[in-house]
Amino acid sequence: MRASTYLDYNATQPIKPAVRDAMIDILAGPTNASSIHQIGQRARSRVEQARASVAALIGARPGDILFTSGATEANATVLRGVGLRQVVSAIEHPSIRAAATNPMVIPVDGSGLVDLDSLDRMLAGLGEPALVSVMLANNETGVIQPVAEAARIVHARGGLLHSDAAQAPGRIPVDVAALGVDLMTLSAHKMGGPQGAGALFIRDGLTLAPLLLGGGQEQRRRGGTENVAAIVGFGVAADLAAESPDLAELRDAMEAGLTQAAPEITVHGALAPRLGNTSCFGVPGLSAETALIALDLMGIAVSSGAACSSGAVEPSPVLLAMGVAQATAREAIRVSLGWATTPAEVDHLVESWAIVYRRTKAA
How does pLDDT run across 103-155, given as a tens digit for each residue? 999 999 999 999 999 999 999 999 899 999 999 999 999 999 999 999 999 99
- Tell me the per-residue pLDDT of 79-104, one tens digit each, with 9 for 90 and over: 999 999 999 999 999 999 999 999 99
Contact 74, 58 (CB under 8 A): no
Band the pLDDT of 3: cuts 50, 70, 90: low
- Worst-scoring range by mean pLDDT, 41-45, 167-171, 302-306, 356-360? 302-306
Q: Where are the alpha helices (DSSP H) in 180-287?
A: 217-220, 228-240, 248-261
If one compares 222 and 120, the residue with the highest pLDDT of the two is: 120
- Considering the entire predicted model, what is its pTM? 0.94
- Average pLDDT on 40-46 reads 85
For domain 5-14+245-362, the CATH superfamily is Aspartate Aminotransferase, domain 1 (3.90.1150.10)
Contact 161, 186 (CB under 8 A): no
In this predicted structure, the answer to whether residue 1 has a pLDDT above a threshold of 50 is: no
The fold adopted by the segment(s) 17-242 is Aspartate Aminotransferase; domain 2 (3.40.640)
Give the three-class secondary structure for 5.
strand
Percent of the chain with pLDDT over 90: 83
Residues noted as catalytic? 308
Quote the crossing angle between the two packed helices 147-156 and 116-126, to the nearest 10°: 20
Band the pLDDT of 41: cuts 50, 70, 90: confident
Contact 178, 58 (CB under 8 A): no
- Tell me the per-residue pLDDT of 172-190, one tens digit each, with 9 for 90 and over: 999 999 999 999 999 999 9
Residue (of 234, 54, 89) closest to 161 by Cα position:
89
3-state secondary structure 293-347: HHHHHCCEECECCCCCCCCCCCCCHHHHHCCCCHHHHCCCEEEECCCCCCHHHHH
If one compares 45 and 115, the residue with the highest pLDDT of the two is: 115
Q: What ranges do the domains of the chain cover?
A: 5-14+245-362, 17-242
Give the three-class secondary structure for 184.
strand
